Structure 1
Amino acid sequence: MKPLEALAERAGIELDFVDARGETQRATREAQHALLKAIGLKAEDDAEATALLQSLDHDAWRRALEPVVVSHANNGPVKVELTLPQEQGQLDWRVTLEEGGEIKGCAVFSKLKLLERKEIGTQSFERREFVLGERLPTGYHSLEVQPSGAATTLIVSPGRCWLPPELAGGQRIWGVTAQLYLLRSAGNWGIGDYGDLRRLVQMMGERGADVIGLNPLHAMFLDDPEHASPYSPASRLLLNDLNIDVASLPELRYSDKAQQLVGSEDFQQKLQACRSAVLVDYTTVADLKQQVLRLLFRTFQAGYDAGRQHSFEAFRCASGDVLERSCLFQALRQHFSDQGHSRADWHSWPVEYQDPASEAVARFAMDEQDLVNFRVWLQWLADEQLGAAAAGGSHMAVGLYRDLAVGADPTGAETWASQKAIIADAQIGAPPDIYNPSGQDWGLPPFNPAALREEAYRSFIDLVRANMRHAGGLRIDHVMALQHAYCVPKGRSPAEGAYLRYPLEDLVGILALESQRNQCLVVGEDLGTVPEGFRERMAAANILSYRVLMFEKDDEGFIPPASYPALSLAVAGNHDLPTLHGWWEARDLALKARLNLFPTPEDASRIREERESDHKQMAVALQREGLLAEGEEIDVESLIRKAHTFLARTQALIAMAQIDDLTDEADPVNVPTTSDEHPNWRRRLSLSLEKLAVHPRLKEVANSFVEERGKVAANLAGC
């Protein structure tokens, strides 16, 4: 192996991968070089690569303990690799447990199991296996070894994610997924809000649903509201405060100024325009809400309700540095935006403000405390309202099922606050495949796997915890990133990228630990190019597979419901796919043609032929289930009803209806690989929640789910 390839392999860059067509692709030398440079390993030639390899090797041997050790409780006592000079004698060790207490002991280094020996200069090092004498409880502990002074974090995982007792006992449940911001209601301000979510939970719970799936609720950019993709957020650690239900806030009753503003003719005209619009008018909605919220914050500060102030302070104290630093960023961004900086990208700020730990940032936090407090207050309101919606589904087996995006926008709070944890000069994407022949670049910087280990996975832990809050389920977008992520060097095309490996076992272990602690099941969105054996590893950890009806095919067509894996969540479609209406009428293909998204006319013809074949195969699948008589014509209405009955019959633990199909939307929420070319993330639902509640389609689909899900559970119990 050439030195550059050896260095790339050492850094976790996969030299080869199997694409969606089953063909082996090799990362180019240019891609290897660019990704190594992005990681911080610059090697212009083989000599520099060789020198770097030797330096990395020596550094590893001079380190007594790795920064973190993740162990599964079911695998027995924790084993730690300890590297010390050969002459090391007796060792004293101490484990400090997360919940308090200590475990102490001693060992003779030369009597530990020898793993490897290395000579560096005149010194000889040995790597030996140190086994703790007793099992540790699950959790986050620390180990110290003297006299070397070495220390590491010990993370003991239960190994498997949590499942609700109902699902563990064999029940099959159903629910509805929704893009919150697209919901219509009589009272919202032109964008779906947490109050709408509370009403949706109640409405679907009354019809027997056990889960409500949501888009990512991550914080967006209030100073740039048209940056609307929930999958390119400012921070995945905070909530989107644009979804706050302003009209329901108690402060509104005590603010004469806010009431006068809302009641004014100009405000009401803008509000009614937002409510009646076909597309979400993010700019106007954000302006209206922020005007009122700033007035309500003054009312809150006046101290009219001591109980609410106490709740706010308790939330702030419990949230800690993650909340404070993120809200400080938002205040800084607003400050520099007001000064005319283009979209306030933090990379363009004065250099002293680009470092969150700088004295300049600390001074700003003191000088602009009120601005920071306002941002924290908004987060408290959002958390309070999301919690109220979740409480409304407390009788459900799962309740709210949140979505975790694969990355955050490079100009946002998350990348500013955790600069060492990411690779700034690369972006996550996807290699060319059948559905996207040009590949994809999502513009999201990936985690740096080496940096994650150095910080004992703190950024990943914070991320998981933040998104399991108020949730009984969490969908991990592009879950294959737990094993590897396709990284595109900045300035290059997706075809010039390569996969970067991640510590799968460690990340799955942490995910299982947080899942059990938060009683939150985990679903892995495993669409696209899935590595061999990956789904089996996810199943072993109780992570549900994500199965989309239109993709579940074999050589004979759409697979029958009985062939769906039990440990899965079955859906008809999602935000990146056409609705059932659009799929049946091939409206998505016509839209792609108008947007010139087919690389060649031949690709367009091939995909249209595949769609026609899919339509025929869908008819066969429905006939096989007795849902369609031979020769019976399918229209959109019958497809929506019959497809959901088909989904309800699957063995999947959870089956979900997309609310866009219940309201019979023809156009997609998002067209992948487009931004300004199409109004993504804006198409509102054509029916309000009030009208949907009495629509016969909802009643029929809900009744079908309740009946068919019960039959599946009963049949499986009788086997």
Structure 2
Amino acid sequence: MSPSETVPLHSPTPLQRLAEAHRVGATFQGWDGSLQQVRPETLVAVLAALGVAADTPEAVDASLAEAEDAPWRSLLPPVVVVRASAVEPVPLSIPAGADVEVWVDAEDGLRYTGSVDGGPAGFRTLDGIPIERVNATLPHSLPLGWHTLHARAGERTASCTLVVTPDRLSRTTALLNSRNWGLMAQLYSVRSSTSWGIGDLADLGQLAGVAAEQGAGFVLVNPLHAAEPQPPVEPSPYLPTTRRFFHPMYLRIEAIPEYARLDAESRRTVDGLAAGFQAANTTTDLLDRDASFAAKLTALELIFAVERPAQRQSDFEDYCAGQGQGLDDFALWSALAETLEPGSPEWEDAGRPGSPAARRARERLAARVEFHEWLQWLCDEQLQEAQLEATDAGMEIGIVHDLAVGVHPSGADAWALRDVLAQGISVGAPPDMFNQHGQDWSQPPWHPERLAESGYTAFRDMLRNILRHAGGIRVDHILGLFRLWWIPAGAAPGGGAYVYYDHEALIGILALEAERAGALVVGEDLGVFEPGVQEYLAERGIFGTSILWFEQTGSGPRPPEEYRRACLTTVTTHDLPPSAGYLVGEHVVLRESLGLLSRPVEEERAADSAVQESFLAMLRERGLLPRGEASVQETVEALHAFIAQSPSALLGVALADAVGERRTQNQPGTSNEYPNWRIPLADAGGRAVLLDDLAENQRFLSLVRALHRPAALGESSGISGGPGGS
């Protein structure tokens, strides 16, 4: 079965046929392997979100006829995405017998001519006009990039976006010839003595330097996407207001050049604000984003008022020009959101982007719009500096950014990109072994048809901005580029349906933008997925993800030698407790206390213990753990030595594991029931861990040594550059 196919139906109903015509799965395979049929009312609601009427039998019949005619009504497809070495024919719908011309205007200014080969591939009469289908052949010498495809058939003309993507990421081939390990960190939780109570971009550069000294090739951080423009802000980095722009909360105030140009009174004010967070850097109480961000905004307002030198002003203007309308829309949303509640009647009066009302608001709020554009420029500068610090310290990859699945339903992207997002729908996941009630992530999904009609511009611009100063990108739930679980408004998480996307286009564009940035791509390909997905991603040069505890076969734990090479392999993930907590079953206790278990806690605890023991037994057999009692630290290090025996080219070490933290950062399926994303980094004794001390943290250094522990039977672990190496 290909990644885009659903389970076939025998004698499908008209409603089910309509759903399949719009790539909505009428069936799906549950996590237990059983075949599930989607309820008719769910199909009707999902189709409505796609703009397809299906609420009556007559509407279904009319929509089916429209779906069958649609490809014949347009001279060209809405967009064409091809691989560089496999440029497939492009179907054209032309008036019968018309002469046809096809050409490409490439982004480098050159023109390439195509041709139409062979006779008609089909006929249909629409509105009394005979239409025939022909195939246009594009030249095979097209360069990678974003081009424009043109066609003329008689008196009809049309054009569309043509994207030529790499067959396979070239960065991947180079990385597969060696091994890199790296730290995985929740940046907001990683503080230094000079932080403002929250980890920032200067801390990121410092963390990269410390890790590089021990031979690390990368640092993977949580999504740094922007949240609300002022407190209170959403704590989850996976529910941002936008995925294209960054959170000014992460700015290091003292690193802004204009900070040094503050007048004496303003300088005292800013330094006083910073001093007020010294105690917050060393507490292990819950993080207070709102207090830190509010203080930083006060400081930023003062620095914004400082006159910039001519070159700095020119750089700022160049940045704004390069970001274009997308930055302007985001900054306008931010300015509006400072005084209006998104979704309120007053907000609606502000209009949509580009409307007369929005233009009037833009003029009225020009100073605030400039302020928010300036904040993004500063983020861009400090992100560049963090990546340079990483690579200058010897990292082969550097900073790897995380891309969230979606955005807040009332955020900037939901406002500015409304035309390419589905309404009345949120995305999530059906029930699975670890989230037995399913998940609703409260995020509007891309509308697959409208996104294609737009030429995938918003998707491209988002990727391009994240990759500007990055060594790589991790795509959370990359399976969402194949299909997403759509949940109609008001429905339970399990009451959804899969909507399928053109993965060839989305993955191709992801590969193209990463290729241009010289970056690697890691896809989180965990959970329920269809046969062929992982193989397809590997073919395109995209690394997969392996979590030790999830690597199980029917007969027990998977031996590390059987792990994938093109993979980021880790012991844990941010959706599980750190390993020290996981080993003592804290995830079971927490889920039971929150009512997230679907079976008695005794059964859950026994099953979890059995799984853990099966892994630990394999570690003992390999001489990585003693036969007798072992401490939690010894066990955590043995687990990392175990994954180091795999052929995986990328190994990830959670910073929480490296210092002995036990507390869970995130419990899926909860929001306010648990303080997700608010846990500061601490050690096994409950003491705050500062970046200043990490280089000499003995637990951290010991875990790094465990990664280089000789494998069983005297084999090498295969990790290049041990502690102190490169």
What band does the TM-score fall into relative to the shorter chain?
A: over 0.9
Q: 2:62 aligns with which of 45, 51, 54?
A: 51
Q: 1:612 aligns with which of 583, 596, 609?
A: 609
Matched residues in 2 for 1:628 and 1:478: separation? 33
Does 2:111 match 1:114? no
- Residue in 2 aligned with 1:339? none
Structure having the larger proportion of residues in helix: 1
Letter in 1 for 2:528: T
Q: CA deviation at 1:308?
A: 2.2
Could you report, residue by residue, the CA deviation over 1:513-571 in whole angstroms, capped at 9, with x for unpaired residues? Answer: 11211111111101111111111111111111100011111233222221111111101
Letter in 2 for 1:437: Q
Does 2:33 match 1:22? yes
> For residues 16-165 of structure 1, what are the structure 2 equivalents within 5 Å?
16-75=27-86, 77-88=87-98, 90-104=99-113, 112-146=118-152, 147-163=155-171
Matched residues in 1 for 2:442 and 2:119: separation? 46
- State how many pairs are aligned: 695
Q: CA deviation at 1:163?
A: 2.1
Q: CA deviation at 1:22?
A: 0.8
Flag the 1:556–1:156 CA change in 2: closer, same or farther, 3 A: same
Could you report, residue by residue, the CA deviation over 1:321-354 in whole angstroms, capped at 9, with x for unpaired residues? Answer: 1111111110111132xxxxxxx22454443424
Secondary structure of 1:145's counterpart equals strand
Q: 1:644 aligns with which of 620, 640, 645?
A: 640
Q: CA deviation at 1:166?
A: 4.4
Matched residues in 1 for 2:499 and 2:60: separation? 18
- Residue in 2 aligned with 1:518? 517
Q: Do 1:468 and 1:520's aligned partners in 2 also have CA atoms closer than 8 Å?
A: yes
Q: Comparing 696-705 with 490-499, which one deviates more in the overlay?
A: 696-705
Q: Do 1:202 and 1:392's aligned partners in 2 also have CA atoms closer than 8 Å?
A: yes
Q: Comparing 347-356 with 521-530, which one deviates more in the overlay?
A: 347-356
Could you report, residue by residue, the CA deviation over 1:166-203 in whole angstroms, capped at 9, with x for unpaired residues? Answer: 424x2111110000000021110100000100100111
- Residue in 2 aligned with 1:227? 234
Q: CA deviation at 1:443?
A: 0.2
Q: CA deviation at 1:580?
A: 0.4
Matched residues in 2 for 1:522 and 1:30: separation? 38
Secondary structure of 1:14's counterpart equals coil
Matched residues in 1 for 2:710 and 2:452: separation? 46
Query: TM-score, normalised on structure 2?
Result: 0.92
Q: Do 1:482 and 1:508's aligned partners in 2 also have CA atoms closer than 8 Å?
A: yes
Matched residues in 2 for 1:182 and 1:133: separation? 52
Secondary structure of 1:608's counterpart equals helix
Matched residues in 2 for 1:245 and 1:428: separation? 34
> For residues 301-700 of structure 1, what are the structure 2 equivalents within 5 Å?
302-303=307-308, 305-336=309-340, 344-346=341-343, 348-394=345-391, 395-601=394-600, 604-630=601-627, 632-686=628-682, 687-700=689-702
Q: Do 1:82 and 1:127's aligned partners in 2 also have CA atoms closer than 8 Å?
A: yes
Matched residues in 1 for 2:344 and 2:131: separation? 43
Flag the 1:6–1:349 CA change in 2: closer, same or farther, 3 A: farther
- Residue in 1 aligned with 2:224? 217
Matched residues in 2 for 1:78 and 1:41: separation? 29
- Residue in 1 aligned with 2:8? none
Matched residues in 1 for 2:316 and 2:139: separation? 45
Does 2:7 match 1:5? no
Letter in 1 for 2:101: D
Q: Do 2:172 and 2:542's aligned partners in 1 also have CA atoms closer than 8 Å?
A: no
Matched residues in 1 for 2:433 and 2:247: separation? 34
Runs ≥4 residues deviating over 4 A:
706-710
Q: Do 2:196 and 2:274's aligned partners in 1 also have CA atoms closer than 8 Å?
A: no
Does 2:703 match 1:701? yes
Query: TM-score, normalised on structure 1?
Result: 0.93
The RMSD of aligned alpha carbons is 1.9
Q: Do 1:189 and 1:275's aligned partners in 2 also have CA atoms closer than 8 Å?
A: no
- Residue in 2 aligned with 1:340? none
Secondary structure of 2:626's counterpart equals coil
Matched residues in 1 for 2:538 and 2:344: separation? 41
Q: Do 1:354 and 1:416's aligned partners in 2 also have CA atoms closer than 8 Å?
A: no
Matched residues in 2 for 1:371 and 1:121: separation? 52
Letter in 2 for 1:201: A
Matched residues in 2 for 1:635 and 1:556: separation? 27
Matched residues in 2 for 1:263 and 1:122: separation? 76
Matched residues in 2 for 1:354 and 1:546: separation? 42
Q: CA deviation at 1:398?
A: 1.1
Matched residues in 2 for 1:230 and 1:298: separation? 30
> Identity over the aligned pairs, expressed in percent?
32
Q: CA deviation at 1:117?
A: 1.4
- Residue in 1 aligned with 2:4? none
Matched residues in 1 for 2:452 and 2:268: separation? 54
Letter in 2 for 1:31: T
Q: Do 1:78 and 1:136's aligned partners in 2 also have CA atoms closer than 8 Å?
A: no
Letter in 2 for 1:102: R
Q: Do 2:545 and 2:567's aligned partners in 1 also have CA atoms closer than 8 Å?
A: yes
Matched residues in 2 for 1:433 and 1:125: separation? 48
Q: Do 2:641 and 2:708's aligned partners in 1 also have CA atoms closer than 8 Å?
A: no
Does 2:285 match 1:289? no
Q: 1:189 aligns with which of 193, 196, 199?
A: 196
Q: CA deviation at 1:78?
A: 4.5
Q: CA deviation at 1:73?
A: 1.4
